[in-house]
Structure formats: C-alpha cells, structure tokens
Structure 1
Amino acid sequence: MADCEIIIPIAALYLLWESEERRKPKRRRVWVHDILRRRPQLGEFHHLLQELRLDDGRFQRYFRLTRAQFDDLLARVGARMSRQDTNYRRSIPAAERLSICLRFLATGDSFRTIANSFRVGASTVASTVSDGVTEIWDCLVEEFMAVPTTEDWRAIAQKFEERWNFPLCCGAIDGKHVVLKAPANSGSQFLNYKGTFSIVLLAVVDADYCFRIIDVGGYGRTSDGGILANSAFGQALRAGNLKLPSDRVLSVHAQRGPLPHVFVADEAFPLRTDLMRPFPGRILPRERRVFNYRLSRAWLVVENAFGMLSSQWRIYRRVMEVRPELAERCVKATCVLHNFLRRTAPTAAVREGLPSGLGRVAANNPARQAIRIRETFTAYFSAEGSLSWQNTII
C-alpha cells in the first residue's frame, strides 16, 4: 500500500511536468544554414562562374553554351525565372536559377551534389530544375521548334536532296530510350528490351540535325512503331494533317509519275506511302542495296542528332533519378536547347556520314501503293538519280 502511495504522486508529477514542457515555446531552428548563408561569398555561381566568364572555352564546356548564348537565353527566360524577395530572405537571381538548371542538364548530377556546389538547398535545386525546364521549353518552342508549314516542309525536302541525296524527304524518324530509375508501382510499363527502365523520345529531324517534331513520354516497353502510331505526329501523318507539299515528279526523263513527300525510318517502323523503310534481308539485288544505302544516308541524320544531344547534355549518359513527368520536361528542354544552340552558333558544322547500310532488317506487310513508291525510288536511285560513289560503297 505504501509503495502505491509513492508511485502515484511521481506519475502525476511527471504528467504535470510534461504538460508544462509542451506549453513552453519551442526553440526555432535555423532558417538558413550557415553554409548556405555564405553563398554570395563562396557559392559556385558567385565565385567560379564569374571567373569562367573570362574564358569562353571553359565557360562553354561548363554550361554547353557560349557566354553570348547564355546571355541571350537569360534575356528570353529571365523574366519568367525571377522570384520575388520576401521579408525573411532574398530570392535567388534568375541568372543563378538558370545556371543551376543548365548545370543539371549538362551533367546529370544529383540534386544534392548541385546543391552543395551552389550552396543552396536540395529542395531548391529540385524546384529550380522543375520550373526551369518548363520555362525554357515555353519560351523557345515557338521560335525554335514550331510545327513546320508547307513551305518549311518544302525547304527541308530541298536540303535533304542537296545534302543527303534523297529527294522528297521531309525528315528522318527514330526513337531514343531515355533511361530512368524504376518508377514506383509502375510494373513493367517502363521496362524496355534492353532490361532497363525508360521513356521514349520519338523525333523527326531535318537535314541540319535540328529537331522539328518530338513526342516524349512513351513507355519503354512499346516498340518504335507503336510509339509512332500512338503519338500526335503519327496520328496527324495518318490523317494527312501535316500539310506536306503536293506530289512531285522525280525526273522528267523517265515516265515514273509523281511521288509523295515521305519520311525515312529504319526497320522498326512500318512501310507506308509517306514513310520509307529499307528492304528486308541480307542478300539483295544491287538496286535494292543501292536504295538501302541511299535511305540510310538520309536516315543517319537522326542518329547523329541523338548523338549530339547526348554528348551535349550528359543527363542522357546517366540514369535519371527523377519522376517520369520531370524527365519528359527535361528531354523537351534539351531538344529545344539543341535547336537554339545550332541556330545561334556562329558556324554550324555539318558532319556527313557514309553508312554502308542499316544492318539487320525485319519483315513487314506493307500496302501495295507503298511498295510501288519504294520501287519507284529504287529505280530512280539506280538510273538518272544515281551517285558516282554509291556502287563502290555498297
């Protein structure tokens, strides 16, 4: 009995003490960490980047943009990237926010790594990248990746004929897998044939290695042909809503009739009247081997464009540890930045490739009209449209 009389008062006192402690005001945590507070003195933007501006070569290797291109881009997106100061702290300037976003795209480093370099919070990097890629796309897409008009398609076809010797070609089509960290609760939707998780970038590229139309976000498990069929571009192509130029005769010296403007693709895509793919098989007649070479010569521009894209923006060389939605916006931003860089560069270098063929090709069941169009191109490439070196190449 005595023991109970001692224990009960102690328990009551403890409850009373705990109640009093809860009423006391809690000590506030530090609003900004001391390391982040010294950002103006030691942060990468305020320290290293100002020195890099004195060396254009190092500046370009760091950002993948020249100083002039960086300033031009900042003038276009700066107003939308600016944030308002508050009574508690000053906002990060638009130039610094753009630097953080570009650095993420250029390296693919984790948010934590970039946060430590720029002396900002990891959550700040995450929000800055998420907002930045959206604002870059919105500000540049109308000027650097607008949907081509009929005159644009005609100009693209003329450049393909002059530079890559494939007439009536409005673009090269291919898909690229962008590797992701496996999204939560996604099952096998993003699992591709390589055993990695990815979303697909479907692109139409012109003769100057610029992206004219892109579709981003297809599941990695879907084939390139399936991605095309489900994309807005594929549906517009099937419905005839792309405003392609009218049919044209290849040569007045041969009675071949007018042919439609087409896109070129590899064996993963179907043969259609507006989409040319190589002949299947390895042992082919000379004329068909010539056609496959001429098609692969034009189609190579999309592969080269993907190579330039992944070389310029190293996020493609790592596994993106972001949500698929953010990965889609990052891909769209890098594609429009690719066009921005090529069209604002002092000189645009042209890398000409001479592939010997497209390698393994698969069978398909195309329509008769599509077969006729491909056979007409085949005859033209081996007759009046032949090149002096093509027989040596094949």
Structure 2
Amino acid sequence: MEEEEQLRSFMFLMTYMLLKRRRDLNNANTQRRSEIQRRIRHRQYFFQRQRRMLMMMIAGGIRSNARIRTRPWTTTQSTDWWERVVMTEFQPSDWLNKFRMSRETFFYLCDKLRPRLTRQDTSFRLALPVEKRVAVALWRLASNVEYRTISTLFGVGKSTVCRCVRDMCHAIVALLSSIYLRPPSEQELEDSAQLFLSKWGFPHCVAAISTLHTAIITPSNNASDYTNPTGWLSVLSQVAVSGRGQFWDVCASFPGGTDPADIFQNSSLWATAADGGLSPAPPPTFMGKPLRYVLLGDACYPLQSWLMKAYPGEKGRRASHTALTEPQRLFNRRLARALRVSEEALLRLRARWQCLSKRNDCGLDVVPTMILACCILHNMCESHGDAFKAEWQVEVAEAESPQPGHKQFPSTSTDQSHAEEARKLFCDFFEEQSN
C-alpha cells in the first residue's frame, strides 16, 4: 500500500511537470511570434517612412533643378497624392479640368457606382476606395494618357489602372443606362420637338442621327474591316441626339468600314421609329395633315416618312439629279442647320472625353463599352449643368483627324412615295415662313 501511494504521488508530480512544461513552451512560442510580428511592423514602418522621405527628396530636387514655381500637386507621385492633394487642395477648376465634372457630380457618380465597384480588403493589401477607383478611370477617359503615367500619379500598378477603367465603364453601362441613356417619354419627345423648332428652326423633329468614328490600334483580326472611308482604323458608332444635345440611343462596336445605313436599318431605333414609337398616338398634325414626329439624318441614310434627309445636292450635278427648286434648297439649308445639334453634341463628347478623340489603345472588347460609358457620362454632366470649357473643344478640333464622310444612300425606298410627301410638307412649311 505504501509503495502504491508513493507511485501515485510520483505519477501526479510527473504529470504536473509535463503540463507546466507544455504551458511554458506555448507561452514562449506565442511571445516569439508576437516579437516577430512586432519587428515586421517596425521594419515596414521605417521602410515606408524612408520611401516617403526619398520621394520627397526626389520631388524637391526636380523642383529645385527646374527652378520654376509650380503647384505642389504637379510633381507629387506618392500614394498619398489622392488623399492629401486632390481631396483637400483641388479647386473647382481643378476638378473640372482633370475629371471633366464638378466635385458634386463626381461624388454623385461614386455613390451610384458603389454597389459594383466596392472591393473587400485582403490579407495582402487594402482595397482601393471607390472614389479613387473612379478618379483613376475618369483621368484615363478625360486625357487618354498612358496607363504608366496614371499609375505613377496615383501610386497604383498599371494593371490596377486597367482594371479600374474596365470596371467603371461596365458599371456605368450596367447601373446608369436606365437613367441617362433610355428611350424618351412622350413629354420628352414634345420638349425635344419644341427645342428643334425654337433653337434650330426645324419643326416636328425629335432627334438627329449621326455617326462617330473612334480611332483604334491595329486589331489582330480583320483589320481591313476597320478601315474607314478616310483610310484610318476606327470603331463606328451610331447616335441619336435630342434637341437638348443629349444622346437618346447609341449603337457602338461596329468596324469603321461598315455602312451606316446597315447599322441603322438593323438597330432597335429603326424598329421603334418605324412602328411609331417616337411619336404619340394618334400622330400630331403638321401642315394640316397627321404626321408622326421625324428624325433627321445625313445623306448616307435612307429617306423615310419618319426620317428626313437632304435632297441630292447640286455640287457636281449628276445626270440623274435634276436642278433643285428654291423650296428644296431652303429645306436643305434648314436641315443642315438642324443637324448641327448632333455635330456639336459629338464634338462636346470628344472634347470632354478625349479617349474618343485620340487613338484609343484599349482592346476591341473594351472600346465599345468605353464609348457607351462616355455617352452616359456626357448626358449626366449635361443634366447636372457642369460647365464645359471652350478650350477643350478648340484642342480637339485642331488635333484630331476629321470625321470620315459616307456615300449617299440610293434614292430607293419601300416608303418612297409617303417619304416624298412628308418631305414636301416641310418644304411648304419653310416656304410659307420665308414669304
């Protein structure tokens, strides 16, 4: 019995010592891991501090060597440029010049896109805030500068800049199309018709159809299809512009060599207009007769009872073209004047978002979405009343290649007789006005 008691006491003592040893080892491991993590954080802190000081010294050296007084943010290339400079020092003119919109519109856009652009932090890095992602993408759309330049400016990788542009363009199309790029309501149709009459002198019209060529790099396949009539590579888009100079309908992604009439005749806009969807029912009266609201188009489009185009011109008269009467010439002049609404809208679009006026080096899978996003942003800025600077327009008009012209559509149509009657009504209207 005594030996058993001694053995039990010995076993208890050994068990206690083993447990104590294990606890000491665990505590030592925990302390060692904490010390390692503390040293890592300490080294990261000093590394970031040294990097920041080095960049400040480099920026200071550049400024001293150049010996010119510049705004502090022009040479800042650190990761805190966005938080320290843009968010605190940018003036209203800076927001307008760099992001092509006011500060209020910028944050409105961020709130609208937040559901699609918010990213979660990972164990390796912090996610970019939505505001910074939008700013990176807008800088690219507004300036069309290289990803490398934007990467240095915002302190992010070039691949991050590329993702920001893609993600924002897709988010804009997905979330804002229903607000800023949608079919017009009946009241908007009436308002547009009033604007065409009061501002452009053309009655009973709700929109003008036009085309936009966006220069691109040489595609890997079918490069000849993208050669437009002027000889350079482009993506062709069709737009419908209201009397307010805003886009109602946009068809993008077509090769530059595509015939605009083919795009239009296969678009949803053609089907809607042909079915009377751009006019109230019953049709309003014009010159004593019921006539649906019309669209205006260039010579490359087919004449329809709801689509007005100019009479074949007298420049270099062909044998098949008879001399125009005075009412017909007057009609052509009024039509050319009204078509300026689409010309000016496209010029403002390219001036505000210069990724559409300069050669776009993005892939063909991104360019159509970028065009749609820019049209939506144009409508948003115009609706919010953001200022537009005339110098943007002058820069684009002087620097870009002229938009290509297109061949005239043949004077044949299944609706030719009704179309000629409708065009004659407009001739009569302008003749009465001139008398």
Per the shorter chain, which TM-score range? 0.7 to 0.9
Q: Distance in 1 between matches of 2:290 and 2:351?
A: 40
Aligned to 1:27: none
Q: Structure 1 residues 104 and 220 mapped into 2: Cα distance closer, same or farther (>3 Å)? A: same
When normalised by structure 1's length, the TM-score is: 0.80
The structural deviation recorded for 1:379 is 1.0
Tell me if structure 1 keeps the 8 A contact 2:243–2:341.
Answer: yes
How many residue pairs end up in the alignment? 342
Q: Distance in 2 between matches of 1:145 and 1:299?
A: 20
Q: Distance in 2 between matches of 1:174 and 1:128?
A: 30
Q: Distance in 2 between matches of 1:203 and 1:192?
A: 17
Q: 1:293-327: CA deviations, max 9, x gaps?
A: 11122211000000000111111221111112200
3-state SS in 2 of match to 1:314: coil
The structural deviation recorded for 1:237 is 2.8
Q: Distance in 2 between matches of 1:243 and 1:272?
A: 15
Aligned to 2:303: 271
Q: 1:82-137: CA deviations, max 9, x gaps?
A: 21001111011111100001001001112222112212111111111101111122
The structural deviation recorded for 1:285 is 2.0
Q: 1:238-286: CA deviations, max 9, x gaps?
A: 34455655323224xxxx5222211001111110111000011225221
Q: Structure 1 residues 195-204 or 42-51, which shifts more?
A: 42-51
Q: Distance in 1 between matches of 2:408 and 2:329?
A: 12
Tell me if structure 1 keeps the 8 A contact 2:235–2:255.
Answer: yes
Indicate whether 1:331 and 2:331 are aligned: no
Q: 1:1-47: CA deviations, max 9, x gaps?
A: xxxxxxxxxxxxxxxxxxxxxxxxxxxxxxxx989x86995454234
Q: Gaps spanning 5+ residues in structure 2: where?
A: 1-46, 53-75, 315-322, 390-404
Q: Structure 1 residues 37-46 or 165-174, which shifts more?
A: 37-46
Tell me if structure 2 keeps the 8 A contact 1:280–1:362.
Answer: no
Tell me if structure 2 keeps the 8 A contact 1:40–1:46.
Answer: no
Indicate whether 1:189 and 2:225 are aligned: yes
Equivalent position to 1:365, from 409, 412, 418: 412
Q: Distance in 1 between matches of 2:142 and 2:206?
A: 30
Q: Distance in 2 between matches of 1:161 and 1:315?
A: 33
Q: Structure 1 residues 96 and 40 mapped into 2: Cα distance closer, same or farther (>3 Å)? A: farther
Indicate whether 1:261 and 2:310 are aligned: no
The structural deviation recorded for 1:158 is 2.3
Q: Distance in 2 between matches of 1:298 and 1:114?
A: 40
When normalised by structure 2's length, the TM-score is: 0.72
Q: Structure 1 residues 194 and 174 mapped into 2: Cα distance closer, same or farther (>3 Å)? A: same
Indicate whether 1:109 and 2:149 are aligned: no
Aligned to 1:309: 349
Indicate whether 1:137 and 2:137 are aligned: no
Q: Structure 1 residues 320 and 69 mapped into 2: Cα distance closer, same or farther (>3 Å)? A: same
Q: Distance in 2 between matches of 1:189 and 1:113?
A: 32
Q: Distance in 1 between matches of 2:202 and 2:279?
A: 20
Q: Distance in 2 between matches of 1:58 and 1:378?
A: 49
Q: Distance in 1 between matches of 2:431 and 2:351?
A: 36
Q: How does 1:40-189 map to 2 (within 5 A)?
A: 41-53=78-90, 55-189=91-225
Q: Distance in 1 between matches of 2:409 and 2:217?
A: 31
Q: Distance in 1 between matches of 2:209 and 2:272?
A: 15
Equivalent position to 1:248, from 268, 271, 284: 284
Indicate whether 1:321 and 2:321 are aligned: no
3-state SS in 1 of match to 2:368: helix
3-state SS in 2 of match to 1:45: helix
Indicate whether 1:296 and 2:333 are aligned: no
Q: Distance in 2 between matches of 1:348 and 1:112?
A: 28
**Paired AA for residue 104 in structure 1:** R
Q: Gaps spanning 5+ residues in structure 1: where?
A: 1-32, 350-357, 389-394
Q: Distance in 2 between matches of 1:116 and 1:346?
A: 28
Q: Which has the larger radius of gyration?
A: 2
The structural deviation recorded for 1:209 is 0.5
- Identity across the alignment (%): 26
Q: Distance in 2 between matches of 1:284 and 1:212?
A: 33
